[in-house]
Amino acid sequence: MKNSNSAATKAKTGASPSQLIDKRIKELDDWRGETLARVRRLIKEACPDVLEEWKWRGVPVWEHAGIICTGETYKAAVKLTFASGAALADPARLFNSSLEGNVRRAIDIHEGEKVDEGALKNLVRAAVNHNESKKKKKTSASVQTKGSKSKKT
């Protein structure tokens, strides 16, 4: 796993995003902290070089070639919001929230619920592959645009 060196995060808090996520898990001190720790572990297993960030006033974010997902905590649920979830195949039907949008999809995990660990890892890997393919398309389009500009003489 890569540690973020987000200057903005460190300047505001004096801690790395990974340290802030650790702190959030400890502060929760209940099923939500356990759940957030478990999904964090699964995300790291699925993408060992994932980048952890701390954004939007305290939301854990996991990135690889773009945002994979966020890990929000609420009283009744831990919500994993996949930035490009609508574009991902979800054969295990993990997505159970934010289903109406054209881009994001989410998984709400409630107290006592078990998550299919293999299916979640597959979803994380699919998100990474999606992000990488988007990045390759942008890079390819940029190279083609630069190469096709005609020079004035």
CATH class entry, domain 2-132: alpha beta
Question: What would the two tokens of residue 115 be?
Answer: 């998550």
Q: Is 143 exposed, middle or buried (0-12, 13-18, 19+ CB in 10 A)?
A: exposed
Choice between 29 and 148, residue whose per-residue pLDDT is larger: 29
Matching residue, tokens 């994932």: 50
Domain map of the chain by residue range?
2-132
Span 51-58, average pLDDT: 94
Enter the pTM of the model.
0.83
Q: Give the residue ranges of DSSP H helices in the chain.
A: 7-13, 17-28, 31-46, 117-148
Q: Is 34 helix (H, G, I), strand (E, B) or coil?
A: helix
Q: 93-104: per-residue pLDDT in tens? A: 999 999 998 999
pLDDT band at 137 (very low <50, low <70, confident <90, very high): confident
Residue 45 sits at φ, ψ, to 5 deg, of: -70, -40
Q: 22-51: per-residue pLDDT in tens? A: 999 999 999 999 999 999 999 999 999 999
